[in-house]
Structure 1
Amino acid sequence: MIRVGIVGASGWARASHLPALAGLAGFEVTAVATTNQASADKVAAAHGVPFAFADARTLTTHPDVDLVVVSVKASGHAKVIRAALEAGKHVLSEWPLGVDAAEAEDLARTAGAAGVVHAVNLQGCHSPDARYVADLIAGGTIGRLESTVLVAAGDPLGGPRIAPELAWSTDPRAGTSLLTIMAGHFLATLDRMAGRLVEVSARLPRLHDHVEVTDTGRTVPNGTPSQVLLHGVLENGATASVTVHGGSGSPDGFFIKFVGSEGTLTVVPTRPGTYMHWTDWSIRVNGEQMKVPDDYRTVPFDPAAGPVANVAAVYQEIAQSIAEGRRPHPDFHTAAAHHRVLATIERAAETGVAEKVC
């Protein structure tokens, strides 16, 4: 039994991590921590968790916690992760790992030296649909991959309005933006299917110097991009064209097209208002509808459950990596490499020329 402590249990974790863990054998949530004792007690009572704390370090050092889940704002990841590593605990961090590539690299080095399992929640890597598409491409179903196009909505980030609970994200120092969060997840999923980017040219238009905080009558300065536009080359030589557009509502979906020497493969969501790393897909090869084989679905959740199913698959990978004494995928080193991709996109947008991914 892997005993789990969740730091930041009252937000995103309540809609994803807690239900995912409740449906998996081999895990028990033994502790939660939030910013105040009252909210921690409330979450613990609602989910039958024995320990509740207002201090993250107390949770990381508790003897009944084996795995620390870091589900706080990106700017707070490093402090909690380092406390967990110092306590010798396994760690699962939300994406992004840090506020920038340098912090992510440092966390990866520290985690590697700690001798524990460290994973990052880029759950699109464990999407059964993404894994199936990856196998179709690798198996030559459309011949040699020559190009891919990805267009996706990044709401609620990047638009002219922002929800009050996200108003802090307009400061680029917070590490949470259309590029880091939305494009970060989408590009990681694309990487899982088609391979990594090795060269990019990019634009990061910032269309709004100030954004309206919804239902408050106030505005806040904005230093983050409204669009992510990039052209790149994948490691196998195929080209990639990616557009992630911001907005202030619910996402209207996504479209992915892979063009090979012998055909095409297209992907769209099965239902509107969902992100590609949260949901199941409609997959067509040369116009023919494909069905994802049942053995790709390894967790007891319907894809219609939203993010829960793929988050559960991340925990499944962590359990297997602990049992087998190996690194999980994606781990902190993978996350640091992905941060370098985003840093290269930023550099390419600044220089206006194609940049190699370091």
Structure 2
Amino acid sequence: MIRIGLIGASPDRGWATAAHLPALAALEEYEVTAVATTRLDSARRSAAAFGIPHAFADAGELAAHPDVDLVAVVVKAPGHAKAIEAALAAGKHVVSEWPLGVNLAEAVHLAEAAGAAGVANAVVLQGFHSPSAAFVKDLIAEGRIGSLESITIVAAGDCLGGARIPQDLAWSTDPAAGMNLLTVMAGHVLAMVEHLAGAVSELSASLAHRHREVKVIETGRMVPSGVPSHVAVHGRLEGGAVAVVSVHGGSAPGPDGFHIKITGTEGTLAIAPTRPGLYPHWADWSVTHAAADGTRTEFVVANDSPLPAGPAANIAAFYRELARALADGRPAHPSFDTAVRQHRVLAAIENSSRTGATSVVADAGA
């Protein structure tokens, strides 16, 4: 049994409550033994609500507790570094939500610190554990579409990047917060591109900034915004195939969610969510395979999770992989090093958009 402490599990709302706690509750490999929030009364309410033995207002105290083997950091991105460093100082295994840091430099620092600490480390990129993505990855590897030629993804990034924003996300309009349409929504999509089709070696990109002020939905207050409203990327993969990614912001849920088309020399895969409105790293996928001889095959990938399609299902798969890694004494995947790789892709996008030049992605083979 892996005893896990969650940093950032609010009793009323938040990502830990919506996704991590349901995922962990479905897994026999884990026991949630501690919770920490910024206020002790809030932590105690969370502990009471979810039957968790220990409550803290300090990440360091949670990490140091003997009943905690693994620390999960599920706070806002600006708080990741402090909470991760507390776990490393206590010699505990650590999980971080994506993005790992607020920028590339912070992500590199945290990955190096985790390596030096010699503990297991993992980052929550749900697309790596999507049964649908695994199925499509296998189709490509088996040569079902021949040699890969291109992958194209159009995805919605609501509720980020639009003209309006919920009050509890208004803090994300500051680029220094590290949580926006590029880092979160496009970050997940681009990680999935690399998972499915291989590393991006070079890219050209444009970041649109359509809304220099956005309206807070609940209050009507206007707040300045320095974050992008649209991410457009044209890249080349290490094997020579082309990747085209468009992630658009919005103020309302997208009616379709996403579309993916993967072309090869001998066929094409067309992919959409089985239920409209979900992001690609959350959804179950409907996959149509069109072969060069004109035959078409429809697949709906079965998800064996006890949880319905959505973030908790693939986060549960993430935690199952981490449990296996700990039992086998091997590195977890995706790790902090994987996160650094994805931060390098984001940095290349920012550089290309700023300079208008093609950017080579550092350590493309990582």
TM-score (normalised: structure 2): 0.95
Deviations 1:221-256 (A, max 9, x none): 100000000100011110011100000112331000
Q: Is the 8 A contact 1:254 1:275 kept in 2?
A: yes
Distance in 2 of aligned mates of 1:323 and 1:353: 46
Deviation at 1:348, TM superposition (A): 0.6
Corresponding residue SS for 1:348: helix
Q: Is the 8 A contact 2:273 2:285 kept in 1?
A: yes
Q: Is the 8 A contact 2:202 2:359 kept in 1?
A: yes
Q: Is the 8 A contact 2:158 2:251 kept in 1?
A: yes
Say whether 1:193 aligns with 2:199.
no
Q: Match for 1:290 among 299, 316, 334? A: 299
Match of 2:293 in 1: none
Q: Match for 2:284 among 280, 283, 287? A: 280
Deviation at 1:37, TM superposition (A): 1.6
Q: Is the 8 A contact 2:173 2:180 kept in 1?
A: yes
Matches within 5 A, 1:288-327: 288-292=297-301, 297=303, 299-303=305-309, 306-327=310-331
Q: Is the 8 A contact 2:126 2:314 kept in 1?
A: yes
Q: Is the 8 A contact 1:298 1:313 kept in 2?
A: no
Distance in 2 of aligned mates of 1:169 and 1:340: 21
Say whether 1:5 aligns with 2:8.
no
Q: Is the 8 A contact 2:24 2:30 kept in 1?
A: yes
Distance in 2 of aligned mates of 1:219 and 1:209: 10
Distance in 1 of aligned mates of 2:355 and 2:220: 37
Deviation at 1:298, TM superposition (A): 5.5
Distance in 1 of aligned mates of 2:274 and 2:317: 20
Deviation at 1:35, TM superposition (A): 1.4
Say whether 1:40 aligns with 2:43.
yes
Q: Is the 8 A contact 1:156 1:251 kept in 2?
A: no
Distance in 2 of aligned mates of 1:59 and 1:242: 40
Say whether 1:328 aligns with 2:337.
no
Match of 2:246 in 1: 243
Taking only aligned residues, the RMSD between alpha carbons, in angstroms, comes to 1.0
Deviation at 1:301, TM superposition (A): 2.8
Distance in 1 of aligned mates of 2:275 and 2:220: 33
% same residue: 59
Corresponding residue SS for 2:330: coil
Matched AA of 1:167: A
Distance in 2 of aligned mates of 1:300 and 1:156: 27
Distance in 2 of aligned mates of 1:355 and 1:239: 15
Match of 1:29 in 2: 32
Corresponding residue SS for 1:204: strand
Say whether 1:266 aligns with 2:270.
yes
Distance in 2 of aligned mates of 1:66 and 1:299: 25
Q: Identify unmatched segments of 5+ residues in structure 2.
A: 291-295
Deviations 1:94-150 (A, max 9, x none): 000000011101110110111110000001110000011001011110000101110
Say whether 1:99 aligns with 2:106.
no
TM-score (normalised: structure 1): 0.97
Matches within 5 A, 1:68-107: 68-107=71-110
Corresponding residue SS for 1:77: helix
Matched AA of 1:212: K
Say whether 1:337 aligns with 2:337.
no
Q: Match for 2:23 among 1, 20, 25? A: 20
Distance in 1 of aligned mates of 2:274 and 2:266: 26
Q: Is the 8 A contact 2:165 2:214 kept in 1?
A: yes
Q: Match for 2:153 among 140, 150, 163? A: 150
Matched AA of 1:278: W
Q: Is the 8 A contact 1:2 1:27 kept in 2?
A: yes
Q: Is the 8 A contact 2:204 2:233 kept in 1?
A: yes
Corresponding residue SS for 1:39: helix
Matched AA of 1:354: T
Distance in 2 of aligned mates of 1:300 and 1:112: 34
Corresponding residue SS for 1:346: helix
Corresponding residue SS for 1:129: helix
Q: Is the 8 A contact 1:251 1:275 kept in 2?
A: no
Q: Is the 8 A contact 2:35 2:56 kept in 1?
A: yes
Matched AA of 2:307: F
Distance in 1 of aligned mates of 2:320 and 2:150: 32
Distance in 1 of aligned mates of 2:342 and 2:321: 19
Matched AA of 2:129: H
Match of 1:53 in 2: 56
Q: Is the 8 A contact 2:285 2:300 kept in 1?
A: no
Corresponding residue SS for 2:208: coil
Matched AA of 1:339: H
Distance in 2 of aligned mates of 1:22 and 1:163: 28
